C-alpha cells in the first residue's frame, strides 16, 4: 500500500525484513529514499515524524527488502536498444546488467566493417547494425531509447579484433595489435569496467595466449576486470581454468571466470576437483573468481560448435567455403571428432531455441535430421549456412550436482548469461535463464534445497558482483547507496520459466526500484525507464 503525504523523503519502505547485501543477519527495518539515493536505514518501525516526512510510504508487510541484483554476466548489449524496458530482468529483480561478455561488446566499432560487426554481435545479442563507434556513442544510443535498468559494460576481445582486423584466422600484425590496445585503453578511459574474451567464439578464439596477455595487461593497469569465457584446451575444464589463472599470474589483473560448468559427460560430478584448481590459485595470490547460472543446460549460437577455421571471415565467407564439396567433407571430418576439443555430439541434447523465421524451435537436431533424411552433422552445416550466427540452440550437457557445488562455493557469484528481453517471444524458446535465474536461486537453491542461505545468496547477487566490478555505490542497503531495491516474498519467490515455456514471469517479486524510481509495483511494470549507463571511475 502506498500513502501519499507531503514531505522531504521520496519513498519510505516500512515493515520490511532487510537483507542488506553484506551477507550478515537480516533485521526488521525501514529504508528511506530521496533523489535516487538511500538516505536512511533504520531498525524496526520509523518514528511518526519520519513517516510524516515521506511523500510515499510503502508497507512491505514483512517481505524481504534487498539490494537490486547485479547480473554480472549478460548479453543485453543490443537487446536493450530493441526494447529498453528490460522486462525479463526487471521481473527478476535485476537492476544492473553487465554487458560486453564472452568477447561480444557494442563498441569499439570500425565503420568500414559494420557488416562484420553486426554479424559478430548477432551470435550473442541481437541482429542490429551499430550507428555509434565508442562507449560514449553507445551510451547516448541507450539514453535516447531509455532503459529500465542500469548498464555497465565490458569491452569484448572479439569486437576489438573485428574493429582492428576483421574476422581473419591469424595473429594480428604489430599495427593491428596496437589498434586493439589503443581501442581498449580508450574504452576503459571512457568508463568501461574491463574486458572479456570468448575463446571458443570466433574471432576471439583466434587470439593466442600472448595476444590475450598483451590486452589484459592494459586491463590490469586500469585496475579493471578481466572476464573470460575459457578456451577449449587440454584434457578437460581444469586446463581451461589453468589458462585463465596463467593470464592472471602474468598480468596481475583480477579474473572473472565466466559461467563455470562441466560439459563433458565423462567428467560430470567432479566439481570438487575443478574448484580445487581455483582454491590453489587463490592461495598462490591470483585474484580469480567465477560466476555460475543455476541450470543444467547452456545456450549459444549453433555456429560456435563448428570448427573455428570454418567460420573465418564471417558468415558469408563460411557459406562460400562450404559450397566447395572438398572443404565441406573436411568440415564434416573435423566435426566427427566432437566439439570443443572432443566433447561427443549427443544430437538429442542439442535443441533449437530460435531462428530468424521461427522454425524448428523446441526441436532436437537429431529429430530435425531424421525428418529431413540427412545426418545430424550435415544438418548442422545446412542450418548454419541458412541462418548464420542467428540460429540459437540449448545444450543439455550439465548436471545439477555440479551446479550446486559451484553455486555454494565462496568464490561464486550469480550471472544469468541471458538477455533483457520482452516476455513476448513469439515461437522462439530462448533459454529460461533470461527469465528465471535470480528467483530460481532464491526459490530452488535457497528455500527448497538449502544449498545456500538467503543472506549469502543475496550477497552473491548484489554486493559481491558490485565489488568485483568496482561499483562502489551499488549492491548494499546503506545510506549513500543508489536506491536500487527489490521487495520479495521469500516463501513464494521462484522461477516458472521452463525450457518448454521459457518466457514466463517469476513468482514472489513484487516491487523493484531503479535509482529511486519504481519500475515494478505490485508485480506489474510501471513503464518508467530510469536506468543509466554506469561508468567505472578513472
Band of pLDDT at residue 236, cut at 50, 70 and 90: confident
pTM for the complete prediction? 0.96
Instruction: For 409-447, write each residue's pLDDT tens digit.
Output: 999 999 999 999 999 999 999 999 999 999 999 999 999
Domains along the chain with CATH numbers: 2-67+510-525 (2.30.40.10), 69-296+399-471 (3.20.20.140), 300-395 (no CATH)
- Stretch among 89-103, 224-238, 417-431, 438-452 having the lowest mean pLDDT: 224-238
Any idea which residue has 553487465 for its cell? 98
- Bridge partner residues of 524 (DSSP): 521
Starting at the edge strand found earlier in the chain, the sheet holding 350-354 runs 298-301, 392-395, 350-354
- Mapping DSSP to helix (H, G, I), strand (E, B) and coil, where does residue 452 land? coil
CB-based contact 340:262 (threshold 8 Å): no
Q: For 242-255, what is the mean pLDDT?
A: 98
Please give the Cα distance from 179 to 184 (Å, whole number).
Answer: 8
pLDDT for 3:
31
Q: For 120-139, what is the mean pLDDT?
A: 96
Q: For 302-331, what is the mean pLDDT?
A: 96
Please give the Cα distance from 88 to 91 (Å, whole number).
Answer: 6
Buried b (16+ CB within 10 A) or exposed e, 434-450: bbbbbbbbbbbbbbeee
Residues 6+ apart with CB under 8 A from 44: 28, 29, 30
DSSP single-letter state for residue 308: G
Q: In 3D, which of 155, 60, 39 has the Cα closest to residue 108? A: 155
Instruction: For 444-484, write each residue's pLDDT tens digit.
Output: 999 999 999 999 999 999 999 999 999 999 999 999 999 99
Instruction: For 210-220, write each residue's pLDDT tens digit.
Output: 999 999 999 99
Cell numbers linked to 136: 560514449
CB-based contact 12:46 (threshold 8 Å): yes
Any idea which residue has 547485479 for its cell? 70
Residues 6+ apart with CB under 8 A from 83: 421, 422
pLDDT for 7:
55
Residues 6+ apart with CB under 8 A from 206: 161, 168, 169, 170, 308, 312
Q: In 3D, which of 264, 253, 141 has the Cα closest to residue 197? A: 253
pLDDT for 394:
97
Give yes or no for residue 1 having a pLDDT over 70.
no
Any idea which residue has 557488416 for its cell? 115
Amino acid at each position: 500500500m502506498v500513502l501519499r503525504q507531503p514531505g522531504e523523503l521520496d519513498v519510505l519502505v516500512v515493515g520490511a525484513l532487510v537483507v542488506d547485501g553484506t551477507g550478515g543477519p537480516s533485521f526488521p527495518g525501514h529504508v528511506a529514499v530521496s533523489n535516487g539515493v538511500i538516505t536512511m536505514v533504520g531498525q524496526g518501525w520509523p518514528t511518526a515524524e519520519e513517516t510524516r516526512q515521506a511523500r510515499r510510504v510503502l508497507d512491505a508487510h514483512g517481505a524481504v527488502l534487498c539490494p537490486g541484483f547485479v547480473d554480472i554476466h549478460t548479453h543485453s548489449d543490443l537487446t536493450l536498444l530493441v526494447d529498453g524496458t528490460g522486462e525479463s530482468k526487471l521481473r527478476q529483480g535485476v537492476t544492473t546488467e553487465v554487458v560486453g561478455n564472452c568477447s561480444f561488446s557494442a563498441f569499439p566499432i570500425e565503420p568500414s566493417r559494420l557488416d562484420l560487426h553486426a554479424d559478430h554481435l548477432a551470435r550473442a545479442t541481437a541482429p542490429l547494425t551499430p550507428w555509434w563507434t565508442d562507449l560514449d556513442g553507445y551510451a547516448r544510443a541507450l539514453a535516447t531509447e531509455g532503459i529500465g535498468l542500469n548498464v555497465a559494460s565490458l569491452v569484448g576481445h572479439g569486437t576489438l579484433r573485428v574493429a582492428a582486423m576483421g574476422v581473419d584466422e591469424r595473429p594480428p600484425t604489430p599495427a593491428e595489435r596496437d589498434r586493439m590496445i589503443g581501442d581498449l585503453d580508450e574504452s576503459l578511459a571512457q568508463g568501461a569496467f574491463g574486458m572479456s574474451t570468448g575463446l571458443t567464439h570466433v574471432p576471439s578464439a583466434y587470439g593466442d595466449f600472448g595476444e590475450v596477455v598483451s590486452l589484459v595487461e592494459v586491463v590490469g593497469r586500469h585496475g579493471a576486470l578481466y572476464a573470460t569465457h575459457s578456451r577449449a584446451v587440454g584434457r578437460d575444464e581444469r586446463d581451461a581454468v589453468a589458462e585463465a589463472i596463467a593470464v592472471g599470474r602474468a598480468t596481475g589483473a583480477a579474473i572473472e571466470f565466466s559461467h563455470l560448468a562441466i560439459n563433458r559427460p565423462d567428467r560430470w560430478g567432479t566439481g570438487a576437483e575443478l574448484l580445487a584448481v581455483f582454491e590453489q590459485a587463490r592461495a598462490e595470490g591470483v585474484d580469480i573468481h567465477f560466476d555460475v547460472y543455476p541450470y543444467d543446460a547452456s545456450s549459444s549460437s549453433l555456429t560456435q560448435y563448428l570448427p573455428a577455421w570454418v567460420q573465418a571471415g564471417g558468415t558469408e565467407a563460411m557459406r562460400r567455403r562450404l559450397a566447395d564439396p572438398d572443404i565441406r567433407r573436411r568440415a564434416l571430418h573435423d566435426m566427427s571428432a566432437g566439439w570443443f576439443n572432443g566433447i561427443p555430439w549427443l544430437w538429442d541434447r542439442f535443441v533449437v531455441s530460435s531462428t530468424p523465421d521461427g522454425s524448428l524451435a523446441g526441436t532436437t537436431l537429431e529429430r530435425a535430421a531424421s525428418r529431413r533424411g540427412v545426418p545430424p552433422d550435415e544438418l548442422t552445416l545446412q542450418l548454419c549456412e541458412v541462418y548464420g550466427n542467428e540460429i540459437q540452440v540449448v545444450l543439455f550437457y550439465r548436471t545439477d550436482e555440479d551446479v550446486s557445488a559451484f553455486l555454494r562455493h565462496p568464490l561464486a557469484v550469480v550471472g544469468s548469461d541471458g538477455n533483457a528481453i520482452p516476455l513476448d517471444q513469439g515461437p522462439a524458446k530462448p533459454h529460461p535463464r533470461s527469465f528465471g535465474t535470480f528467483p530460481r536461486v532464491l526459490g530452488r537453491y535457497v528455500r527448497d534445497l538449502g544449498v545456500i542461505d538467503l543472506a549469502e545468496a543475496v550477497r552473491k547477487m548484489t554486493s559481491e558482483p558490485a565489488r568485483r566490478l568496482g561499483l562502489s555505490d551499488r549492491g548494499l542497503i546503506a545510506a549513500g547507496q543508489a536506491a536500487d531495491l527489490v521487495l520479495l516474498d521469500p516463501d513464494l519467490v521462484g522461477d516458472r520459466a521452463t525450457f518448454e515455456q521459457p518466457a514466463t514471469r517469476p513468482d514472489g517479486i513484487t516491487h523493484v526500484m531503479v535509482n529511486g524510481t519504481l519500475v515494478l509495483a505490485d508485480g506489474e511494470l510501471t513503464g518508467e525507464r530510469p536506468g543509466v549507463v554506469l561508468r567505472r571511475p578513472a
